[in-house]
């Protein structure tokens, strides 16, 4: 075994010893997701407005964390905004204009899977904006965010930090996993070559936009399960929610379906039952 391979093996063994067990992780996640639902109901009932920004390195685990946050939530209350590259028309607009349309209304928590910070990251590093546009962003972004906070929007910003060694391991796993290979876009592969450039861009971004009204919160994400639990716990701690009393729900007996005759089964087209149940028979229909 080469020295580099041996070093990687020791690092993986060390990480395994630090990782939370799957059982404890699932138990903790369920508890946090119940709290997320309680928080959602408070946001909806009080008209609170929250915008949560997720930024960070490629393969840092942002998407997985967003998925665990939104799993138990109503997508109308907690929508995810992941905008594509701007159109030719949008490129001529005020830079923040297309993001403003997605800011939360009363009773909403909008989650931005990447955001206006594209200008300080990928656009800066890959040369998709001019120096003048970049400098204007660094100058105007703190003013824009301060204005959002003054308007009553609670702005929470997360930066997912992953080591270059762990990012490389995740890239390599994506190469061999057919369900994840789509995540390796040409942009990701090009970004992989520019680790130092992205680091400098992130440092410059923090220097200008880590403001008192909306500071950056860094999530260590070399261990994904830890990052998810830590981020969700922190998000819950940031919002002053409480349990909203709701009238108890009760399912009354269904009234008899008198006078209804179901059409013949032969008149309907069913999906073929390719999978069988545990007893080897076909699944039942309703």
Per-residue pLDDT tens, the chain, 286 aa: give them. 444 444 454 455 455 568 999 999 999 999 999 999 999 999 999 999 999 999 998 889 999 999 999 999 999 999 999 999 999 999 999 999 999 999 999 999 999 999 999 999 999 999 999 999 999 999 999 999 999 999 999 999 999 999 989 988 988 888 888 888 888 887 777 778 888 999 999 999 999 999 999 999 999 999 999 999 999 999 999 999 999 988 888 888 888 878 888 889 899 999 998 887 655 554 445 5
Total-model pTM: 0.86
Q: Where are the alpha helices (DSSP H) in the chain?
A: 3-18, 22-46, 62-70, 88-91, 97-100, 122-126, 131-150, 164-176, 186-192, 195-209, 224-238
Question: In a 10 Å sphere around its CB, with 0-12 CB exposed, 13-18 middle and 19+ buried, how is residue 157 labelled?
Answer: buried
The CATH number fitting domain 15-86+113-238, selected from 3.40.470.10, 3.40.309.10, 3.40.50.300, 3.30.420.40: 3.40.50.300
**Under DSSP, is residue 204 helix (H, G, I), strand (E, B) or coil?**
helix
Q: pLDDT value at position 278? A: 57
Strand partners, 201: none
Q: pLDDT value at position 246? A: 82
DSSP 65-93: HHHHHHTTS-TTTS-EE---SPPHHHHTS
DSSP 100-122: HTTS--TTEEEEEES-GGGTTTH
Q: pLDDT value at position 259? A: 82
Sheet with 80-81: list strands edge to edge. 80-81, 108-113, 49-56, 153-161, 216-220
Domain boundaries of the chain, sorted by first residue: 15-86+113-238
What's the rounded Cα separation, in Å, for the pair 157 and 112? 9
Q: Tell me how far CA of residue 209 lies from CA of 22, 42, 219, in angstroms.
A: 37, 29, 17
Q: pLDDT value at position 126? A: 93
Q: At what angle do helices 195-209 and 131-150 cross, to 10 degrees?
A: 40
Q: pLDDT value at position 248? A: 86
What's the rounded Cα separation, in Å, for the pair 278 and 78? 37
Q: pLDDT value at position 167? A: 87
Contact status, residue 111 vs residue 40, Cβ threshold 8 Å: no
Q: At what angle do helices 62-70 and 224-238 cross, to 10 degrees?
A: 50
Q: pLDDT value at position 3? A: 46
| Sign of the torsion formed by the C-alpha atoms of 218, 220, 225 and 226 | negative
Largest CA distance in the chain: 78
What's the rounded Cα separation, in Å, for the pair 216 and 219? 10
What's the rounded Cα separation, in Å, for the pair 222 and 63? 14
């Amino acid at each position: 075994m080469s020295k580099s391979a041996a070093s990687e093996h020791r690092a993986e063994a060390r990480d395994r010893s630090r990782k939370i067990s799957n059982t404890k992780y699932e138990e903790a996640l369920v508890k946090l997701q119940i709290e997320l639902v309680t928080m959602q109901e408070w946001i909806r009932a009080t008209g609170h407005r929250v915008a949560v920004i997720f930024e960070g390195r490629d393969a840092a685990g942002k998407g997985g964390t967003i998925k665990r946050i939104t799993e138990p939530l109503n997508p109308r209350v907690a929508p995810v905004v992941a905008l594509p590259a701007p159109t030719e028309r949008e490129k001529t607009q005020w830079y923040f204009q297309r993001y403003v349309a997605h800011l939360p209304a009363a009773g909403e928590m909008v989650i931005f899977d990447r955001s206006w910070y594209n200008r300080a990251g990928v656009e800066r590093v890959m040369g998709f904006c001019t120096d003048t546009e970049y400098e204007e962003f660094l100058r105007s972004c703190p003013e824009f965010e301060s204005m959002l906070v003054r308007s009553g929007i609670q702005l929470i910003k997360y930066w997912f930090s992953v080591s270059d060694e762990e990012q490389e391991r995740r890239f390599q796993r994506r190469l061999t996993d057919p369900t994840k290979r789509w995540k390796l876009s040409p942009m990701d592969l090009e970004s992989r070559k520019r680790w130092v450039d992205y680091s400098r861009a992130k440092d410059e971004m923090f220097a200008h936009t880590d403001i008192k009204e909306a500071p950056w919160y860094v999530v260590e994400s070399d261990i994904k399960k830890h990052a998810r639990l830590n981020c969700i716990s922190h998000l819950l701690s940031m919002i002053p929610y409480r349990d909203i009393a709701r009238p108890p729900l009760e399912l009354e007996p269904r009234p008899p379906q008198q006078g209804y005759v179901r059409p013949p089964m032969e008149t309907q087209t069913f999906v073929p039952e390719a999978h069988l149940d545990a007893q080897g028979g076909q699944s039942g229909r309703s």
